[in-house]
Amino acid sequence: MMNIWQDLQERQNAVADRKITALFDDPNRAEDFSLRTQHMLFDYAKTNIDAGARAALLQLVENAKVTERRDAMFAGAPINETEGRAVLHTALRNLDGGPVEVAGEDVMPQVRDTLARMRSFADQVRGGDITDVVNIGIGGSDLGPAMATRALTPYHDGPRCHFVSNVDGAHIADTLRGLDAKTTLVIVASKTFTTIETMTNARTARAWMQDHGGDPAAQFAALSTADDKTAEFGIDPAQVFGFEDWVGGRYSVWGPIGLSLMIAIGPKAFDSFLRGAQEMDRHFCAADPAENMPMLLALVGIWHNQICGHATRAVLPYDQRLEMLPDYLQQLEMESNGKGMQMDGSDSPRHTGPVVWGAAGTNGQHAFYQLIHQGTRVIPCEFLVAAKGHEPELQHHHDLLIANCLAQSEALMRGRSLEEARAVMHDAGLSGDELERQARHRVFPGNRPSTTLAYETLDPFTLGQIIALYEHRVFVEGVILGINSFDQWGVELGKELAKSLQPLVEGEVSAEGKDGSTAALIGYIHQHRD
């Protein structure tokens, strides 16, 4: 394995100064460095990956036994080794597949039963007097359904959906303000029903509903496996939807955590969402690595992060309704692969997950693209764009959107030379030293890599494909890097300390013994609270 990494590094060193544009001297470059499925096109031609580098990257897939690990995941093996769990979010969208066994037991009957209960409940809510749904969760219990619900706005034909995650009282207060407690359904999403942020918000919502004439016993639902705690909270068992420990939070939008989405778009559209993901699952399992979209997307990421040393990755959907996708992928990728420890307990010999960030185009163009184009650090960009929008009467808007998307990827690659900038300034009427000075400010280094994922339109099926694509990309990167993508121990320490600090913040316990910084901050808060 080390020889492959060394080979890749040497290949990159040899082409570091090569212009990406030079690769297009090959008339087949775009075709050879893109991949089509029935519904999507993934273009990675605007990177400095050539045939030799791609072959070496594919060797990483073979040596890391990615296909074997993939098959083990789909078969229900406990590949989450630090927690001794299977990883089977794929089973939640296995609508017409075969049995999936965990410890010798087929889990699909239970999955289908839960999905049927969700459909029945969603139809009941959509056909009743409920006007608004408030989903209370955090992390994967919030980001997944919130992102998907926003993305599929054109398909909403049910109650309005709202999402509360932050324990900051402003979030729940602002959300509930203006809602009718008598016609609001609250969904509490917490597997253990102990998540402190979620339960604090849930208790506030229950008090609000009681105080304003609602009926919490009838108007609360829970997405949880803790039946005893949901019953103690006062939630009808018929309105509790559980999921197994082989579904991680950031991979959970396909099951009960997606209930708010199902209520918004209806069970049929939700089924289409699942089928899109299932189709990507089938592609991931069947396609040769060289023709496998999740694997190639992962390998491009490995090339840019681990080989080229680019520490960040910008996700840039030219699709306004995907504005939350960068936030969603932050958790999916950074919580999954933000680890410094390998599966065997040894330190990783290389950097692992990148910093993931971004925003919807064209807004980002007027915010941070300056840094992407002319900053001193290279930031690989991942563009997403639909061939068609949902507003045919605004086709000119969509045409301009696509033109901007394609222009940005071209500009990143092509740049602008000093000679070209001088010509621009000459045409503007400048000359001499002023021409030279102004020209230098208009130089774009170019040679900055990007990929583009194009699809027909953002419908439930396509969204399912996109999310599953990125899920599998994270998995492949994790296997190649030798890390466990399915635990998240790094979030625990802060939670533990927050519990111990709360009595100090409340003034019940002295801050004596805390570090000087923490004690001083608590002192300031107490001083300005009185």
Summarize pLDDT for 449-501 with one digit per residue, the tens.
999 999 999 999 999 999 999 999 999 999 999 999 999 999 888 888 888 99
The per-residue pLDDT for 314 is 98
Banded pLDDT at 25 (limits 50, 70, 90)? very high
382, β-bridge pairs: 315, 451
Cα separation, 442 vs 436, whole angstroms = 10
Grade residue 97 by pLDDT with cuts at 50, 70 and 90. confident
Q: Please say if the pLDDT value at position 1 is more than 80.
A: no
Beta strand ranges found along 343-405 (DSSP E) = 355-358, 381-386
Residues of the chain with CATH 1.10.1390.10: 492-527
pLDDT at 495: 82
d(CA 476, CA 479): 5
Q: Which long-range contacts (CB under 8 A, 24 or more apart) does 268-273 make?
A: 269/152, 269/155, 269/460, 270/119, 270/122, 270/460, 271/95, 272/459, 272/460, 272/461, 272/464, 273/148, 273/152, 273/460, 273/461, 273/463, 273/464
For residue 146, the model assigns a pLDDT of 98
User: What pLDDT score was predicted for residue 494?
Assistant: 86
Q: How far apart are CA 503 and CA 511, in angstroms?
A: 9
- Report pLDDT digits (tens) over 103-149: 999 999 999 999 999 999 999 999 999 999 999 999 999 999 999 99
| pLDDT at residue 2 tops 70 | no
Question: Mind telling me the catalytic residues?
Answer: 335, 366, 495
Token output for 449: 């890599």
What is the reported pLDDT for 529? 85
Question: Domain 89-269 adopts which CATH fold?
Answer: Rossmann fold (3.40.50)
- Phi/psi of residue 142, each to 5°? -125, -50
Average pLDDT of the chain to the nearest whole number: 96
Q: Is the pLDDT of residue 202 over 80?
A: yes
What percent of the chain has pLDDT above 90?
96
pLDDT at 530 over 80: no
Between 18-32, 152-166, 376-390, 512-526, the lowest mean confidence (pLDDT) is in 512-526
Please list the residue range(s) of the chain that carry CATH number 3.40.50.10490. 2-63+287-414+448-487, 89-269
Residue 213's Cβ-count burial label (10 Å; 0-12, 13-18, 19+) is: exposed
Domain at 492-527, CATH from 1.10.10.10, 3.40.50.10490, 1.10.1390.10, 1.10.760.10: 1.10.1390.10
Contact yes or no for 118/303 (Cβ under 8 A): no
CATH superfamily of 2-63+287-414+448-487: Glucose-6-phosphate isomerase like protein; domain 1 (3.40.50.10490)
Q: Which amino acid is present at 493?
A: L
In the block, which residue shows the tokens 């320490």? 493
pLDDT tens digits for 67-85? 999 999 999 999 999 999 9
